[in-house]
């Protein structure tokens, strides 16, 4: 018997690296850094952490719907999980500038994943950092019924530079993609794996360039191991085939940041842009904007909503959520402006573009889904509901019971929410014991 047959086969994962461009692949040129092709040969093959020297040969990759190519593959050394990762690099014909990316570029990435979905166990997308959070959010909606890891990463310094973050970012992405079944679109940066549609760029030069302000990391790499928070991982809830939704409607949405002294005429000019279908409104604090029930600003928003423009209210703050704590936010909600809860601006814009591209949806469908979590992009708050075992509770009684419950819990935010929606009339209601709530909110 051939002795080679006695050697146990070490398992390996197949990961496709999709190179779209960005700082990670750049090299020095006469006038500064420029994108460079041949990333596998120049950056990965010479590094022992990316190449165990086994020369595993060619691997089949689909570059177009009917175009199959054999690309050189490399294999990582054996990991602490007793597994190799075999990978190839698919470079786009034209490397994308992340500051110029649009729905066409997102479609190209989604199609590359779709064409190779059955050939690989996971995907790592290399991308510039300027719009990385937007691309993560867009892909999270475009990749429907995703059942495999898709991890996006990049770097603040090119991999060919002596001091860089590219090596650790790419190796960390490969390790997680090749070892852990996390079927989400994620962003890996500075040893942390985030849910992609929860991220935002927080630094132009620090290696810790990204954060997920309202949702904890899905995984963290330390010197000892990779710690995955499995309870946070989102998985498909139905058995449906993987598919992609392309051509997000980014050409008919806009983002407007409210500032002190902004005039209604300025807002109206944006809302009157020809063909505009949706607006992400970045407001103060918990969702506040200038105006009142009869103000000119409120009237501008109300008229736009009546014309069928979907307006999403998100906070300018890094952390926190839009909530009807104050009168100004309540007035916005009454005009038909949709609460974006704790959506990032990136997630709100791409989600709105995704839903508006689904022609089968009505305006009401779009507004309802914007306030509902589709891919874990926002935190849904479910108020406590009370029900008598035999007799249905009246609406006022149910609201009063909820108010009593949150008062007992000391949850001032929920108290404010309930009172702002129900009004002072609720304070005059009595519960089944004849008690009335006495609330002092400063």
Give, for 97, the enclosing helix (H) or strand (E). Answer: none
Enter the tokens of residue 211: 């954060």
Per-residue pLDDT tens for 273-330?
Answer: 999 999 999 999 888 888 765 588 888 999 999 999 999 999 999 999 988 666 666 7
Residues 6+ apart with CB under 8 A from 29: none
Per-residue pLDDT tens for 10-29?
Answer: 789 999 999 999 999 998 88
Query: For residue 113, what pLDDT band results from cuts at 50, 70 and 90?
Result: very high
Q: Residues 100-107: what's their mean pLDDT?
A: 92
Answer whether residue 135 shows pLDDT above 50. yes
The sign of the dihedral angle between the CA atoms of 352, 362, 328, 251 is: positive
Per-residue pLDDT tens for 232-252?
Answer: 999 888 889 999 999 899 999
The whole-angstrom separation of Cα 35 and Cα 28 is 9
Q: Residues 191-200: what's their mean pLDDT?
A: 97
H helices, E strands: number in the chain: 11, 20
CA distances from 77 to 10, 19, 149, 211, 364 (A): 11, 22, 21, 30, 53
The CA angle 359-361-363, to the nearest 5 degrees, is: 115
Q: Active-site residue among 23, 76, 135, 250?
A: 23
The whole-angstrom separation of Cα 110 and Cα 243 is 9
The whole-angstrom separation of Cα 218 and Cα 186 is 9
Per DSSP bridges, beta strands 26-29 and 32-35 are antiparallel
Q: Is 379 a catalytic residue?
A: no
Query: For residue 437, what pLDDT band results from cuts at 50, 70 and 90?
Result: low
Other beta carbons within 10 angstroms of residue 203's beta carbon come to 12
The whole-angstrom separation of Cα 222 and Cα 43 is 24
pTM: 0.83
**With b meaning 16 or more CB within 10 Å and e meaning fewer, what string describes 393-421?**
eeeebbbbbbbbbbbeeeeeebbbbbbbe
The CA angle 271-275-278, to the nearest 5 degrees, is: 55
Q: Please list the alpha-helical segments (H only) found in 15-143.
A: 39, 103-115, 132-142
Query: For residue 176, what pLDDT band results from cuts at 50, 70 and 90?
Result: very high
Which DSSP symbol is given to 426? G
Per-residue pLDDT tens for 147-159?
Answer: 999 999 999 999 9
Q: Residues 171-186: what's their mean pLDDT?
A: 96
Q: Please list the alpha-helical segments (H only) found in 279-428.
A: 296-306, 327-335, 345-356, 363-370, 395-409, 412-422
Where do we find the tokens 């889904």?
A: 369
The whole-angstrom separation of Cα 233 and Cα 290 is 39
The whole-angstrom separation of Cα 40 and Cα 86 is 13
The predicted pLDDT at position 1 comes to 43
The predicted pLDDT at position 7 comes to 47
Is 77 in contact with 48 (CB distance < 8 Å)?
Answer: yes
The sign of the dihedral angle between the CA atoms of 272, 366, 297, 263 is: negative
Answer whether residue 54 shows pLDDT above 80. yes
Secondary structure (DSSP) of 201-221: E--SS-S--EE-TTS--SEEE
Query: For residue 258, what pLDDT band results from cuts at 50, 70 and 90?
Result: very high
What SS3 state is found at 23?
Answer: helix
**With b meaning 16 or more CB within 10 Å and e meaning fewer, what string describes 240-254?**
eebebeeebbbebbb
- CB-facing half-sphere around the CA of 184: CA atoms within 13 A: 27
The whole-angstrom separation of Cα 257 and Cα 356 is 21
């Amino acid at each position: 018997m051939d002795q080679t047959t006695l050697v146990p086969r070490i398992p390996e994962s197949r990961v496709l690296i999709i190179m779209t461009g960005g700082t990670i692949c750049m090299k020095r040129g006469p006038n500064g850094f420029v994108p460079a092709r041949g990333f596998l040969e120049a950056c990965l093959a010479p590094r022992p952490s990316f190449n165990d020297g086994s020369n595993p040969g060619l691997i089949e990759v689909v570059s177009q719907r009917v175009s199959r190519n054999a690309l050189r593959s490399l294999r990582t050394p054996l990991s602490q999980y007793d597994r190799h990762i075999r990978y190839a690099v698919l470079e786009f014909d034209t490397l994308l500038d992340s500051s110029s990316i649009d729905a066409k570029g997102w479609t190209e990435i989604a199609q590359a994943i779709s064409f190779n979905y059955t050939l690989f166990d996971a995907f790592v997308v290399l991308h510039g950092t300027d719009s990385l959070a937007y691309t993560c959010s867009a892909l999270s909606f475009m990749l429907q019924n995703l059942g495999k890891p898709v991890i996006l990463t990049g770097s603040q310094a090119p991999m060919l530079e002596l001091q860089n973050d590219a090596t650790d970012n790419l190796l960390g992405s490969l390790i997680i993609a090749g070892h852990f079944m996390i079927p989400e679109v994620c962003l890996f940066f500075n040893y942390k794996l985030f849910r992609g549609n929860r991220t935002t760029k927080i630094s132009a030069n620090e290696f810790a360039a990204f954060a997920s302000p309202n949702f904890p990391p899905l995984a963290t790499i330390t010197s000892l191991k990779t710690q995955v928070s499995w309870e946070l991982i989102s998985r498909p809830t139905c058995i449906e085939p993987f598919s992609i939704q392309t051509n997000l409607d980014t050409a008919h949405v806009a983002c407007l940041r409210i500032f002190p002294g902004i005039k209604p005429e300025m807002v109206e000019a944006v809302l009157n842009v020809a063909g505009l279908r949706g607006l992400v409104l970045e407001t103060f604090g918990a969702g506040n904007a200038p105006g009142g029930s009869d103000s000119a600003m409120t009237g501008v928003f109300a008229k736009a909503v009546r014309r069928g423009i979907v307006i999403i209210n998100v906070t300018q703050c890094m952390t926190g959520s839009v909530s009807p704590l104050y009168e100004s936010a309540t007035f916005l909600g009454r005009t038909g402006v949709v609460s974006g809860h704790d959506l990032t601006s990136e997630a709100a814009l791409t989600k709105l573009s995704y839903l508006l591209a689904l022609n089968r949806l009505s305006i009401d469908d779009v507004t309802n889904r914007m306030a509902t979590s589709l891919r874990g992009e926002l935190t849904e708050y479910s108020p406590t509901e009370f029900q008598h075992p035999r007799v249905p509770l009246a609406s006022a009684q149910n609201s009063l019971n909820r108010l009593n419950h949150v008062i007992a819990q000391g949850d001032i935010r929920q108290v404010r929410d309930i009172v702002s929606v129900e009004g002072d009339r609720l304070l005059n209601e009595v519960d089944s014991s004849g008690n009335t709530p006495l609330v002092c909110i400063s």
